[in-house]
Amino acid sequence: MTDHRPGVEAARADTPRFSPLYRQIKGLITRGLQAGEWKPGEPIPSETELAARFGVSQGTVRKAVDELAAENLLVRRQGRGTFVATHHEERTQFRFLRLRPDDGGPPGRMESRILECRRLRAPVEIARALGLRGGETVVFIRRLLSFEQRPTVLDDIWLPGALFRGLSAERLGASVGPLYGLFESEFGVRMIRAAEQLRAVAADREVATLLGVAPGSPLLQAERVTYTYQDRPVEVRRGRYVTDSFHYRSALG
């Protein structure tokens, strides 16, 4: 790279007064990830190699990789290398599902059933959340998650139609792992982070029937917006959780 000295950067002067070198390196690595230069699950080049490529010291690369690892874009494995994060792994499996059995242990046998999958014009709120122009089509998915045969989660999912061409109930049914793994492998869309808004709601008749609870039962509702690279929203999800013997874990730091 050229012109990455702090002073030079400062001279550029716009919104962020100063962008340190390691952040620029971070940006370059992110660009490589986004462009698919290294695929999920694969290792990226070693720190010394990246340092040579970018013409900076290893310490600077290290700090860039540190941040990317903290954001779960990369995974460090001592003695082996640094790998591109993937949703096809035990460890990342439940990163976005915060529901846990009250008795502690990991969730037991989980079964996913697709109830619906069709295309429709995006409702205004969905379009707004996804940054779509009015009238664009979205893929709508409704699915039911059961733990040990007990229906527990009803998810309604909206995805930008343009990014998920060819997504169908059959395709979903044929897949085994987590949805985000499918999205990553089949559509090249990598879910990076999400924000949820939680509230307690009363189950309406339709939802109550699907979840096997009495109408009016209290349900935990999670409205999620999921983002890919560049903080681009690519999924809206409304989940309803039966919290009789499960709870949603939240860590306050």
Partner DNA sequence: TAGTGGTCTAGACCACCGT
Partner DNA sequence: CGGTGGTCTAGACCACTAA
What is the contact surface with DNA in residues (CB under 7 A)? 4, 6-7, 9-10, 17-18, 20-23, 44, 46-49, 56-60, 62-63, 76-82
Q: Identify which of residues 94 and 187 has a Cβ nearer to a second copy in the complex.
A: 94
C-beta of 2: minimal distance to a second copy in Å? 27
Buried b (16+ CB within 10 A) or exposed e, 141-179: bbbbbbbeeebbbbbbbbbbbebbeebeeeebeebeebb
What are the backbone angles phi and psi of residue 4, rounded to the nearest 5°? -115, 15
231 residue type, one letter:
D
C-beta of 88: minimal distance to DNA in Å? 17
Q: In angstroms, what CA-CA distances link 44 with 55, 83, 122?
A: 17, 6, 38
Contact (CB, 8 A) for 77 and 44:
no
199 contacts which partner out of a second copy, DNA, none, CB within 5 to 8 A by kind?
A: a second copy
Contact (CB, 8 A) for 194 and 166:
no
Contact (CB, 8 A) for 47 and 58:
yes
58 contacts which partner out of a second copy, DNA, none, CB within 5 to 8 A by kind?
A: DNA
Q: Identify which of residues 24 and 228 has a Cβ nearer to DNA in the complex.
A: 24
Q: Identify which of residues 96 and 187 has a Cβ nearer to a second copy in the complex.
A: 96
Q: Identify which of residues 108 and 218 has a Cβ nearer to a second copy in the complex.
A: 218
| DSSP strand pairing (74-77 vs 81-84) | antiparallel
| CB neighbour list of residue 233: distance below 8 Å, 6 or more residues apart | 129, 130, 131, 225, 226, 227
What are the backbone angles phi and psi of residue 93, rounded to the nearest 5°? -50, -50
Q: Identify which of residues 40 and 161 has a Cβ nearer to a second copy in the complex.
A: 40
72 contacts which partner out of a second copy, DNA, none, CB within 5 to 8 A by kind?
A: a second copy
C-beta of 217: minimal distance to a second copy in Å? 8
7 contacts which partner out of a second copy, DNA, none, CB within 5 to 8 A by kind?
A: DNA
247 contacts which partner out of DNA, a second copy, none, CB within 5 to 8 A by kind?
A: a second copy
What is the binding site for a second copy (CB under 8 A)? 71-72, 95-96, 98, 102, 193-202, 216-224, 241, 243, 246-253
